[in-house]
């Protein structure tokens, strides 16, 4: 669907970009930017591709993706399989996109975090390629330090290491064009660690955060404990993540104020979930698991539902509806 086909009251302006409505597709679905144009035609306002790494790498051993049907949830331990940032960014630049595209970058599995300088340079190598691509494709970069499926990756969320990483990336972002940068955070950080990380984001020159990634928690599931135990490790996504993702968005907005962009992700299944995220402080939202369960036209359907809610409320825009 063309961006202009959506209700103009749903438009969002953030990151120096225009979005037809707030609902995008989260990273992990189109890892190699092979389906950007077809996914854009389904009605998303934006897509996040990847996560890509500087070095090409295979998926983790199979089985590595599971449905928890009783929870409408997924568990994955794919581990950033991709053709490498060079190939993926070249494909995206060649094919282009009608809607904004986020390029998610992560650490290559073969690169250790000790010494940390090697891991940082690995990220920077991917960032350089992403920045070059965004000269011709409208979009932003997401720095993924929060997947549970790459060994030691989440250690890069500690405030000290995150500052080193973001300082190195923002140093590469000087000059024309400067591209928007977001940091993707985990839902499993305790409040103190989250506050410390948000302080780093606040004082940095990056543009905001994506909250949240998948969780390693397994509490409160309808799926039987024996089934969950048999599946084993991996990141859980879908409705069980909703409450914590919403909490992280609220806390992040309170800490970061109005100047930073927040993309809310986690357990969004219907229009009420979208509005809850926006009311909590999200500028944009992303879906993934509900797209798997709900079908290809879910984003467009959610946008229409929110438009109907605006009609019912009499609010002049999505932002006014959220404030009400």
Token reading at 246: 């919403």
| Total number of domains in the chain | 1
Number of neighbours of residue 256 by Cβ within 10 angstroms: 18
The SS3 assignment for 276 reads helix
Q: Active-site positions?
A: 147
pLDDT, position 1:
78
For residue range 50-95, list pLDDT tens digits in order: 999 999 999 999 999 999 999 999 999 999 999 999 999 999 999 9
Instruction: Provide the Cα torsion 86, 91, 92, 96; round to 10°.
Output: 150
pLDDT, position 176:
81
pLDDT, position 80:
97
Domain enclosing residue 28, as ranges: 3-323
Tokens 């024309």 -> residue: 176
73-76: strand order across its sheet = 65-68, 73-76, 235-237
Distance CA 56, CA 75 (A): 23
Residue ranges of the chain whose pLDDT lies below 50: none
Whole-number average pLDDT of the chain? 96
pLDDT, position 166:
98
> What CATH number does residue 96 fall under?
3.20.20.70
Residues recorded for the chain: 324
Question: 3-state SS string over 172-222?
Answer: HCCCCCCCCEEEEECCCCCHHHHHHHHHHHHHCCCCEEEECCCECCCCCCC
Query: Measured between alpha carbons, how far is residue 1 from residues 38, 103, 185 in Å?
Result: 10, 21, 30
pLDDT, position 323:
80
């Amino acid at each position: 669907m063309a961006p202009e086909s959506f209700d103009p009251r749903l438009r969002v302006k953030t990151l120096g970009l225009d979005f037809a409505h707030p609902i995008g597709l989260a990273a992990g679905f189109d890892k190699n930017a092979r389906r950007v144009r077809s996914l854009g035609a389904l009605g998303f306002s934006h897509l996040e591709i990847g996560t890509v790494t500087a070095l090409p790498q295979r998926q983790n051993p199979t089985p590595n993706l599971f449905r928890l049907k009783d929870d409408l949830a997924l568990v994955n331990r794919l581990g950033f399989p991709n053709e490498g940032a060079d190939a993926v960014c070249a494909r995206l630049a060649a094919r282009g996109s009608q809607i904004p595209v986020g390029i998610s970058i992560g650490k290559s599995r073969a690169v250790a975090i000790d010494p940390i300088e090697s891991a940082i340079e690995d990220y920077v190598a991917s960032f350089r390629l992403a920045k070059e691509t965004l000269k011709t494709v409208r979009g932003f970069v997401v720095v993924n330090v929060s997947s549970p499926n790459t060994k030691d990756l989440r250690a890069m969320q500690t405030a000290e290491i995150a500052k080193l990483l973001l300082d190195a990336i923002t140093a590469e972002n000087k000059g024309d064009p400067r591209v928007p940068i977001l940091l993707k955070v985990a839902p499993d950080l305790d409040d103190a660690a989250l506050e410390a990380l948000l302080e780093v984001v606040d004082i940095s020159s990056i543009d905001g955060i994506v909250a949240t990634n998948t969780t390693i928690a397994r509490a409160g599931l309808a799926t039987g404990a024996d089934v969950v135990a048999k599946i084993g490790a991996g990141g859980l996504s879908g409705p069980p993540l909703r409450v914590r993702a919403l909490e992280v968005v609220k806390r992040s907005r309170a800490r970061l104020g109005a100047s930073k962009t927040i993309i809310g992700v986690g357990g969004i299944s219907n229009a009420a979930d979208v509005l809850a995220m926006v009311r909590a402080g999200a500028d944009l939202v992303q879906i993934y698991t509900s797209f798997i369960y709900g079908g290809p036209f879910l984003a467009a359907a959610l946008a229409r539902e929110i438009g109907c809610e605006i009609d019912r409320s009499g609010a002049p825009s999505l932002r006014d509806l959220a404030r009400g």
